[in-house]
Amino acid sequence: MLGFMLFAKLPSYKKKIYDPEVSIDSFGLLLYVSEAEINDVTKTLKESGANEVKTVEEK
């Protein structure tokens, strides 16, 4: 059991990003990109049919 918890990184004390709009009938992607890439990634996701693109800053 200890081995499982270590490899699964449980428990995790990192701050989690939560969005209540991500539910049973939708999903979210979490991408880590540089400031320079944000516009290109946003454009690509929208062109690929993304309903919404949100930016979350890491603190």
Residue ranges per structural domain of the chain: 12-59
Share of the chain above pLDDT 70, in %: 97
From the number of C-beta atoms within 10 Å of its C-beta (0-12, 13-18, 19+), residue 54 rates as exposed
What average pLDDT is seen over the chain?
85
Q: What is the pLDDT of residues 23-44, one digit of tens each?
A: 778 888 889 999 999 999 999 9
Give the pLDDT score at 59. 63
Instruction: Write out the two tokens for 25.
Output: 């009938």
Q: Cβ(39)–Cβ(56) under 8 Å?
A: no
pTM for this predicted structure: 0.63
Q: What is the pLDDT of residues 2-31, one digit of tens each?
A: 788 778 878 777 777 777 888 778 888 889
Tell me how long the chain is.
Answer: 59
